[in-house]
């Protein structure tokens, strides 16, 4: 690990990210600690959403700190990408994650963006590929993500997903 020393009046640009279970830290565009492989944590495939984030041990999801120094943070931008995975107690991704998939001619490995409610090629029991002749039609509008509406009826809590009319749009 490197120690970064800089005159008190200068500022640093810090970029921290996690991509594909690898942590990286850049200070002023220079790699600070090298890439760190993060382990798979038991239960990390649990369903998470903006309304039900994964627990983080009683702390807020992000914290900043300094030891032996004054810290001034300005123009902080926090981006969050949530990776949804259904958890039905089985190997979540038998295809394409731990074991590569080799595609033949006119075969497709289909990836979706709503895996909390549906599975894509990574999870299909019958095999991970789709033949070209089975792909018919064209997408013509976007209607996801839906709005989550919560309520209580007859003593039971419920959630429903309703179209978010502000986000629905036609594709060219």
Residue at 150 is within a domain = yes
Residue at 30 is within a domain = no
Length of the chain: 172
75-126 pLDDT, tens digit per residue, is 777 766 555 554 455 556 778 877 789 999 999 998 876 655 567 888 888 8
Residue at 93 is within a domain = no
Q: Is the pTM of this model over 0.85?
A: no
Contact 134, 108 (CB under 8 A): no
Cβ-in-10-Å burial (0-12, 13-18, 19+) of 20 comes to exposed
Q: How many domains does the chain have?
A: 1
Structure-block tokens of residue 91: 């190997």
Residue at 13 is within a domain = no
Residue at 171 is within a domain = yes
């Amino acid at each position: 690990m490197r120690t970064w020393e800089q005159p008190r009046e200068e500022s640093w640009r810090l970029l921290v990210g996690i991509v594909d279970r690898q942590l990286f830290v850049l200070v002023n565009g220079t790699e600070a600690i090298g890439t760190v492989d993060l382990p798979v944590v038991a239960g990390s495939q649990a369903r998470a959403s903006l309304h039900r984030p994964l627990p983080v041990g009683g702390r807020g999801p992000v914290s900043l700190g300094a030891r032996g120094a004054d810290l001034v943070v300005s123009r902080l931008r926090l981006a969050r990408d949530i990776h949804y995975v259904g958890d039905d107690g089985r190997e979540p991704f038998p295809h394409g994650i731990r074991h590569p998939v080799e595609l033949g001619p006119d075969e497709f490995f289909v990836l979706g963006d709503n895996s909390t409610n549906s599975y894509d090629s990574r999870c299909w029991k019958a095999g991970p590929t789709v033949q070209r002749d089975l792909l018919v039609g064209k997408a013509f509008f976007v209607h996801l993500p839906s709005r989550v509406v919560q309520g209580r009826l007859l003593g039971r809590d419920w959630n429903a997903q309703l179209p978010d009319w502000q986000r629905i749009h036609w594709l060219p």
